[in-house]
Amino acid sequence: MTKVRYFVSRIRSTLGELAPRSPQSGGTLIACFLLLIVALFLVQLPTWLLDILLVTNIIVALTLMLRGLFAHEAQRLYAFPTILVLTTLFRLALNVSSTKLILLNGDQGLDAAGEVIRGFGMFVVRGDFVVGAIVFAIVAIVNFVVIAKGSARVAEVSARFHLDALPGRQLSIDSELRSGTIGAGEARRRRSQLNQESQFFGSMDGAMKWVQGDAIAGLVITFINAAGGIALGVGRGMSFGDAVSTFGVLTIGDGLVSILPSLLISVAAAIVVTHAVSGDEKTSGDEMVSQMLADPRAPLIAAVALFFVGLAGLLGVFEFPFLPFFVVSALTVCLVALREMFTEGAAIETLDAVPDVDPGYPGDATGLLRVFDRDSDEEDVLDELRLEVDGRVLGPHLGIGGTESTTVPALRGASTATAPAVRRSRQEFEKLAQAARERIFREKGVVLPRIQLSVGRDLAPGAYRVLVREQQLRSGQLRAGQVFAAAGPSTLAVFGVRGAVATRHPVDRRAAAWIDARQPAADSLRLLGVELHSGASFLVLESIGAALEVIDELFGLDEARSLLKTIERRHQQLVQAVFEGELLTYPEFAEVLRRLVRERVSIRDLKLILEGIAEFAALHREIEDRHEWLSELHAFLRIVLARGIINDSLGPGDKLRTFMLAPEIEEEFRSAVSMWDNSRAKPPLDPAFEAELKHSATRMFYPVLERGAVPIVVLCEGAIRAAVQDFFGRQMASSDWIRTLAFEELAGQSHPEAIGILHVGR
């Protein structure tokens, strides 16, 4: 009894190892499958087992076709070439086994090769052998000439193009790795994927030769079954007619039950190799349906054309039946309507799934934005800059129109935008935002965070809000039927525009206005040099303005390191001299850049900044206090970057118009600076003095700001410049356009024109 239990346990363990629960057990199953194929070539099978194996062959082929249709990427089916080879061998082995049964037992009746072959043969013949033979011949020729050959050619061309592109793609990965666009782990992943992809398409090219050869072998086996069977039948005493009928039905059934799986697998292979990589999680079926119905005009026009053809048949113009044309036209219209209806309901929910605008290649402004953006696509990180809008703002008729649109039609009571409108709105917003971020980078050298556009469920109709790190910084409402003009009401009145509603420009805080887009004078404002902004453009300005308002808070160590990577390839020795020479730590470098950014100084020329750091470190080794050293470095870098600072400070007519500080103000700042060690939040100024100075500055500066004569430049001595800049940055609402320059920073760069002296109490 013990031996029996031991024997049973061994059988159970062996069967357990064969179960497909691990790669090893999968390999065992494949080995058993290959042994089965060899046995099929040698052993005569009973008819019931042949029936089961033939049905298994069909379901495997059907599964492969559906798997290829549902695959997101061809590379995810990297075992597909091996599967093609094994299924081809299996199909040929079944053909050999069925041929044995047909030739040995065909004279005994139609059940000689099993029920499946008889069923397929009778289904095609249907009482008329000639018709069945013709139909079978057509199917066989189509499978060989069109499907098998076409699939083989597609696989060959795909393999050629992928293998030809392999060196260039490898060089691209190496280039991105050297430039710092991707890390070592990402480079390894891409190389592995590239290697897998090249092996896949190369193997598919070879595997399709097997499929094409299988189609030829199937035709040869069919001819042998027919000719040899008829000859054997007549030799065994059957009449010629009975032999043709019996062996013909068996031959047709056997051929069809082999051609059907071959056809399905050839189609599956063609679908897999022709599935273009779209960058998203769409299957071939998804892409075909979405692209065919992406523009509803095409199927609707086709449906109308078919309807009129059927109508012409109904009226007797053509000899066409009306009903089929009408039914197909109606079904097409219903299909388009259903797709639009279902897509509309999910439009707002899937807003963030709209693909971003292609950011280009590293090296230019757009490519650098991709370097900063790539991590936010893969991780659930805190949105540094997000714009939330009311859902009714979305759509070309609801506040975000085409790039040429200047109208903001009514928002209240409007229904939710349709999916195409939402996609167009999102894409336009992305393009405008991308262009704005590129402009800021070219001007300031700072990469602003990507603006995350989302729908705020609790917003009033037409409302929006801008959040920086999940904290609301700005909010407002698009005005119905109006556009945003970058000019004040008084200026617009000169151009004949009436009813302008005063506001401020989102970025520079200059006077601006909302105007009625239907006014005749509004159309001529662009020709007169007045900027007009659509809803999308205004929302981008509002988001960029909010980011610039706290730009130093959005610039940190990661941003500084990423900027370094962009120049390290061309100026590696300079970067090494600064950091490996321990002139500056990375956190200190980030703080140096943050100070410059806070004062609206462009850090675009990183090479010049690094050279300035190296020069300053060589000249000022005696300063031991690190806070003092960094403050002196900041002042030195401003002198190094003086040309760019002055160019950014030029006003109308490219003239440097400056305000001076009264002696009593300078003396107060000198006293505060003597007690300020730069580690405090602000210089220790007297609160009463601060209030009086703010009042005087507001009264003197704001009329200039209203006229648009920005920036406002305050010229003072270098010892107090940082403290003066800190005061205006804290106290003035329009501090973005108030610049402080030191006399040392002029250095013959420009001849300032003094336009006023700032006093306290006047």
CATH architecture, range 648-758: 3-Layer(aba) Sandwich (3.40)
pLDDT above 50 for 51: yes
Q: Among the listed ranges 29-38, 237-246, 366-375, which one has the minimum average pLDDT value? A: 366-375
- Give the count of beta carbons closer than 10 Å to the beta carbon of residue 393: 26
Give 612 or 461, the one with higher predicted confidence: 612
Statement: residue 2 has pLDDT above 80 = no
Does 646 score more than 80 pLDDT? yes
Say if residues 530 and 493 touch (Cβ distance below 8 Å).
Answer: no
Q: For the chain, give percent helix, strand, coil, nearest 5.
A: 65, 10, 25
pLDDT of residue 72: 66
Question: What are residue 230's phi and psi, to 5 degrees?
Answer: -65, -40
Nearest to 539 by CA among 581, 617, 469, 483: 483
Phi/psi at 159 (5° precision): -65, -40
The pLDDT tens digits of the residues spanning 209-268 come to 777 777 788 778 878 877 888 888 877 777 787 787 777 788 888 888 888 888 888 888
* pLDDT at position 414: 35
Calpha distance 759→762 (Å, rounded): 6
pLDDT at 358 over 60: no
Confidence of residue 147 (pLDDT cuts 50, 70, 90): confident
Q: What are phi and psi of 91, to 5 degrees?
A: -70, -40
| Residue 538 pLDDT | 86
- Structural domain boundaries of the chain? 1-43, 51-282, 293-345, 363-550, 555-640, 648-758
Find out whether 422 and 394 touch, Cβ atoms under 8 Å. yes
Average pLDDT for residues 577-601, to the nearest whole number? 86
pLDDT attached to residue 179: 58
Give pLDDT, residue 12: 55
Categorize the per-residue pLDDT at 404 as very low, low, confident or very high, splitting at 50, 70 and 90: very low
Average confidence score pLDDT of the chain: 75
Strand order in the sheet with 482-485: 501-504, 511-516, 482-485, 532-533
Mean pLDDT score, 473-497: 82
pLDDT of residue 21: 47
142 neighbors 215 (Cβ within 8 angstroms):
no
DSSP class of residue 1 equals -
Report the C-alpha gap between 397 and 410 in whole angstroms: 8
Residue-level pLDDT at 210: 78
Q: Report pLDDT for 113.
A: 74
What letter represents residue 718's amino acid? G
Query: Is the pLDDT at 130 greater than 80, yes or no?
Result: no
Out of 17-26, 219-228, 284-293, 559-568, the most confident range is 559-568
Which pLDDT belongs to residue 409? 32
The identity of residue 401, as a single letter, is G
CA distances from 433 to 359, 364, 573 (A): 12, 16, 35
- Would you call 451 helix, strand, or coil by DSSP? coil
CATH of span 363-550: 3.40.30.60
Q: Which of 304-313, 530-539, 659-668 has the highest mean pLDDT?
A: 659-668
b/e per residue, 290-299, with b = 16+ CB within 10 A? eeebeeeeeb
Residue 667's identity, in one-letter code, is E
CA separation for the pair 561, 363 (Å, rounded): 16
Confidence of residue 30 (pLDDT cuts 50, 70, 90): confident
pLDDT on residue 432: 83
Whether residue 671 has pLDDT greater than 80 = yes
Residue 120: CB atoms within 10 A of its CB come to 23
Higher pLDDT, 607 or 209: 607
pLDDT score for 401: 38
Instruction: Fill in the amino acid letter for 478.
Output: L
Q: Considering the entire predicted model, what is its pTM? A: 0.51
Give the bridge partners for 140, in sequence order. none
pLDDT band of residue 181 (cuts 50, 70, 90) is low
Token pair belonging to 334:
């219903």
pLDDT computed for residue 349 by the predictor: 43
Architecture of the domain made up of 555-640: Orthogonal Bundle (1.10)
pLDDT tens for each residue of 596-606: 888 888 888 88
Q: What is the pLDDT of residue 352?
A: 41
- Residue 282 pLDDT level (bands cut at 50, 70, 90): low
DSSP letters spanning 301-331: HHHHHHHHHHHHHHTTSSS--HHHHHHHHHH
How much is the pLDDT for 9? 57
Residue 375 confidence (pLDDT) above 70: no
> Is pLDDT above 70 for 512?
yes
